[in-house]
Each structure stands twice: as structure tokens, then as C-alpha cells.
Amino acid sequence: MTSLDTGTRTARTPGRPGGVPPARSGPRPFGLIRHSVALARRSLVKTMRNPEQLIDVTLQPVIFVLVFVYLLGGAISGSTQDYLQFLLPAIMVQTVIFAGMATGVNLNTDIKKGVFDRFRSLPIGRSAPLIGSVLGDVIRYVVSIASLFVFGYILGFRVQTNPLAALAACLLAIVFAFCLSWAFVLVGMMMKEPGGVQGVGFLVLFPLTFGTSMIAPAETLPDWLQAWVRVNPVGQLMDASRGLMLGGPVASHVVVALAWSAGLLVVFAPLAVRAYRRRT
Amino acid sequence: MSYAFEAEGLVKRFGTTTALAGIDLAARRGQVLGVLGPNGAGKTTAVRILATLLRPDGGRAAVAGMDVVRQAADVRRVIGLTGQYASVDEDLTGEENLVLIGELLDLRRREAKARAAELLRDFGLSEAGRRPAATYSGGMRRRLDLAAGLVGRPQIIYLDEPTTGLDPVKRDDMWNIVRRLVADGTTVLLTTQYLEEADALADEISVVDHGKVIAHGTPADLKHVVGGQTIIVRPSDPARLGEVTAILAELAGREPESPGRGVVTVPVEGDAVFTELVRRLDRAGIGVTELSLRLPSLDEVFFTLTGRTTTESDEEVAA
């Protein structure tokens, strides 16, 4: 190694000779938070600019509600109106969780397009781009929940408890989806193609969301499926959501859902960051 | 000697493919190192290692005296990366892209905006700065890519094939931008597939093939090795081709070739021959529709250095 080359240097601007102070104003505190927020804003701007990206999360819950309520509602609950009350709090959970899958798909696209290489060549925390993407996608959750509730209200869904409890149900679902989305980030890091991320995502999400009491009361399911429903965290989340919106016991469901959220975050966030570091 | 960056014996494998087989690259401060090679030679892999995006499997590399593996975070503070693989976000406007990078470089939002405006102006993108990058032409896109690499006023800039796919006018624009950077003291690592580009910009050139440097020297050294330049003459009157051939044979001291109808070419060493040729043609009253002096193509360089054409090395996988 020859002499070091870290000495101070004059600023260089194309077309402007030296004398300009360096653009970099030195280290500022809370770098990871600031960088993550700046990158989250980027995700938001992207979503706003391509609103068609929100079509899936907006239309999918509406279609599910229509299909289930009018095809199965009469058979399961005796009336479509009763069934709508039963279904909607659970569909809300499913919607939010599906919206979280997009985080992994978008990250994979970013990597393929080379945008992430730019970020990785900058002196920012390794996890900042991931945190930014996950945070920025909260907009998807909000939009999908809003469209579901507007549609549900038109069809006749009414919250039986109070708006605060309903809001708590939504927040709980968002927290869970946020934590679970780290698993999709991990998948997004490991797959070659965005389409592959989606494929794996559906494979995981179908048993998680449909293997619950979402469509029909758990008592009507076969024993082995009931066993799965009992351990499935998404089922707990749906029960919590029903309790918060329609009344009934919620405490244990909420605790279990939050515990799962914490567990998913603790396991998948570090794994995702590690996979991101390794990905070339 | 003070190297801005220095790589020794870098090795990188992807599965069974060896992308880098012990490559050495170095540039002194304020100089331009041209890395010349065909697709798949390992140019981009070497850049990615020097930019801390990839870890080498063997060898070592230092940028501004800092190890690219152990001091990666410090290295990232002094480099700017532009190229095929470090892209801007197409959904954001040019300005938003630059402001975002400024903020990630710890500029305050106001400073980041000022810096973005300055760069957009310098690169002739002030108008386009408010449009999403997806709407940019190829040349504008490259300029924005380059501007993105310059937000933090890096000491060292990696330009990975900055002109591939650009038309000659846009290419000249890019060359001028690179020259201005160098004039300001920036060290540049430039990868390219064109000897002409390396000759126009680089202080020294490393020719790479199969992940190794197969030749290194100044552009003049390299041209000497590969046989200097080639004169191409197309007389306006095809009937006078014989006379032109005779003049060329005498000046170059070797037999010219005729690669196409009405054209003769001959390799020459030294620029003086060209001037003399013009004089002789004038004296003989021979008009020409084409008269040019060109550098050997990468193919010819490779053929001279390796006895192979570049297409034979194309099966190597670019990282």
C-alpha cells in the first residue's frame, strides 16, 4: 500500500472550478431514521405516481366480498347481511396481509433495475433501503382498508362496537402485516424474478389466510383443519378483528397476534437484511 | 506514488464461472484509468468490487487508502458510481432522484435541492428535471446517471461503459463532461469497449480479458503494440485507385489492402504519414470522398494481443 489518499480536497463541480464548499455537511445524527424516511418518501411518491399499482389491493377485497357474500352468505349464515358482518372484519385482515406481499415484489424489482446498487454504493445503513420500502408501503395498507370499508358500508356493513375499536382492529392488522412483510422482503431478496416472489407469496398466503375462520365458522371445519386454524396466527388476528368490530372477547387474540408480530419481526427482519447484504 | 485506488490480484467466482482471475488495476490521483475489454471480460465485476458492492474471493483492493472490504463504509464516502448497473429511479423526476441521493448523503433538504439544481444545470437537464426519468432519452438518462454519481462531490468516480449505445454527438458530450471532471482533479475509472474512447480520455489503459489484465500502458504504448492507426482512402474517381495504392504503399512501406470496392487501407505508425499523404494526393490532383485515420477497433486490438477475436470470449458471463 502506498501513501493514504484521504486528505482534504477542494470541491469539484463540473463546469465550475474549485472554491465551492463540499456538498457534504458532515455526519448528522439519526442517520438510519432519516435515510429510511427519505427512502420511504420515495416509495410513496412512486405509488402516487403509478396509482394503477393500487388496483390489485383496491379491487381484490371488493371482489372477495362480492363472491363470498352473495355466493356463500345465504348458505353459511342464512342471510347475506349477517354474513357480511361475519366476513368483513376477516377480509380486512386478509387484504392487509396481501398488500404486504407487494413490498417483496417491489424490492425485487428495485434490485433488478439497479436502483439498489446506487443505494448500496452510498454511505447509508444497510437496512435503510429495506426499512424505507416497508414503511413506504404502509400507504397500500391504508388505501386497501379504506376502499374495503367504503364498499362494505355501501353493502350494509356496520361496526357494532365503536370507531376507535374498529381503528384498533385495522392498526393491529397493519402491525402484523408490517412484521410479516419482512418475510416477503426475504423472499424478494432470494428470488431472481419479481414474478417468483409473487408465486411464493401466494403459496404462503393462501393457507395462512384461508386456513382460518375467515369464510366459515371454525366449528364447521374438519378436526385437522381446526387444529391448523387454532395455531394459525392469521386466524387469531381475524378473531381479534371480529371482536374489536363486532364485540366479544378480544384480549387473548390481540396478545397472541402481537406476540406473533414481534416474533416474525425478530426472525425475518435480520434474515432479510442479511440476505440483502449477501445479494450481489 | 499516490494511488487513488489500487486492486491487486482480485479474484471473483460466480458458481463455476471465474469472472476475475487475479486482476490488478490502479490509478494515481487525478488520473483516468481506462479499462478496455469485451463483454464478459470482468470489467463490471471489478468496478463492483471497487465500489464495495461485491466482496472479492481473493486479492485485495483499496480506495483512497481504505480497504474495500474492511472499511467499506468509509470507501462509500469518497466514491461516485455511474453505470449499467447503478441506476436512477425511473418513476422519480430527475430532480427528485438527485435530491434523494443528496439526503442520503446527509445533506439538509435545502442543500440537497440546491445541489440538485446545480447539477441539473451543469448537465443541461434543468428543463427535464421536473419530468420522470422514464421519459428521458438515452443521452439524458446517461447524464442524469452521471449527475447522480456526483452529488456528493466524490474524489473517485467509476464510469461503467458510460457511452455504450449513445450516438456520436451524445458520446462527445459525455466525453467533455468526463474531461471537466478530470480537470477538477477527480480520479476516474472508466470501463469501455472502445479503444477510441480509452484513447480520448484515459491516461493509462488496462486491457482485460477473461478476468485478467493482458496489457497495460499509456494509449501511445498500446497503439504501438497493436500497430498504430489505419489510413482509409476512397478516391472520388475509382479509376485512380491504382495511383492511390502506389502512394500508400510507398508511404507506409507495406502493401495496402482493399477491403471494399474503391477503398484502400493501410496500417501506419505515426501521424506524419497522414500529412504527407494529403500533400501527395494534392500534388497528384486526386480528389477523395473519404480520407480518414482511425484507431484499431477493440477486435483488432484483441486479435493482436491474444490471436483471438472478441466474440470468442463472449461466452464468459458478465456479473
**Residue of chain B nearest A122, judged by CA positions:** B76
Instruction: Give the pLDDT of residue B129.
Output: 92
pLDDT at A28: 64
Kindly report the nearest CA distance between residue A11 and chain B, in angstroms.
Answer: 6
Answer for the pair B214, B36: CB distance below 8 angstroms, yes or no.
no
Q: Rounded distance, CA B293 to CA B310, Å?
A: 23
Tell me the three cell numbers of residue B50.
471497487
The strand pair at B66-67 and B58-63 is best described as: antiparallel
Q: Distance between CA B61 and CA B12 in Å, rounded?
A: 12
What is the percentage of chain B residues whose pLDDT exceeds 70?
93
> What was the pLDDT predicted at B298?
66
Query: What are residue A126's phi and psi, to 5 degrees?
Result: -60, -30
Cβ-contact B103, A20 below 8 angstroms: no
Sign for the CA dihedral angle at B296, B302, B305, B308 comes to negative
For A214-234, letters b (16+ CB in 10 Å) and e give bbbeeeebeeeeeebbeebbb
Identify the DSSP state of B86: S
Which 62-81 residues of chain B touch chain A by CB within 8 A?
62, 64-66, 73-74, 76-79, 81
Q: B308 pLDDT band (50/70/90 cuts)? A: low
Place of cell 426519468: B133
Q: Any alpha helices (H) in B184-225, and if so which ranges?
A: 195-201, 219-225
The answer to whether the Cβ–Cβ distance between B73 and A3 falls below 8 Å is no
Q: Residue A142, SS3?
A: helix
Q: What is the largest CA-CA distance in chain B?
A: 71
Q: State phi, psi for B56 to the nearest 5 degrees.
A: -70, 150
Give me the pLDDT at residue A23, please. 46
Which of A93, A105, A108 minimizes the C-alpha distance to A144? A93
- Residue of B184, B187, B188, B189 for testing the chain A interface, max A β-carbons within 10 Å: B184
B88 touches chain A (CB under 8 A): yes
Q: Which of residues 154-183 of B touch A (CB under 8 A)?
A: 155, 177, 180-181
Q: Are the beta carbons of B104 and A122 closer than 8 angstroms?
A: yes
As beta bridge partners, residue B293 has: B231
Q: Which comes out higher in pLDDT, residue A25 or B191? A: B191
Please give the C-alpha separations between residue B26 and each of A143, A172, A193, B18, B216, in angstroms, as whole numbers: 52, 55, 36, 21, 11
Q: Which residues contact B233 (CB under 8 A, 6 or more apart)?
A: B244, B248, B263, B264, B265, B277, B281, B288, B290, B291
Residue B186 has pLDDT above 70, yes or no: yes
Residues in chain A where the model's pLDDT stays below 70: 1-29, 279-280
Q: Where does residue A136 rank: exposed (0-12), middle (13-18), buried (19+ CB within 10 A)?
A: buried
Residue B267's DSSP bridge partners are B230
Q: Which domains does chain B have, with CATH numbers?
A: 3-224 (3.40.50.300), 229-294 (3.30.70.2030)
CB–CB contact B65 A5 (8 Å):
yes
Provide the mean pLDDT of chain B: 87
Please spell the DSSP secondary structure of B273-312, one letter per residue.
HHHHHHHHHHHHT--EEEEEEEPPPHHHHHHHHHSS-GGG
B314 or A230, which is more confident: A230
CA distance B192 to B188: 12
CB contacts < 8 A (A, B): 142
- Among A residues 105-144, those touching chain B with beta carbons less than 8 Å apart: 113-115, 117-124, 128
Residue-level pLDDT at B139: 84
Place of cell 451524445: B170
DSSP classification of residue A113 = H
Residue B213 CA to residue B41 CA, distance in Å, equals 10
Percent of chain B clearing pLDDT 90 (strictly above): 47
Spatial separation of the C-alpha atoms in residues A108 and A122, rounded to whole Å: 19
For residue B196, the model assigns a pLDDT of 84
> Which of A121-130, A172-181, B30-39, B292-301 has the lowest average pLDDT?
B292-301
B113 DSSP 8-state letter: H
- What pLDDT digit, counting tens, does each position of B207-241 carry? 999 899 998 988 888 877 776 678 889 999 888 88
* pLDDT tens for each residue of B135-181: 998 888 888 999 999 999 999 999 998 888 788 888 888 899 899 98
User: Which residues are registered as beta bridge partners of B34?
Assistant: B190, B205
User: β-pairing, B187-192 with B17-28?
Assistant: unpaired
| CB-based contact, B130 to chain A, within 8 Å | no
**Residue owning grid cell 492507426:** B229
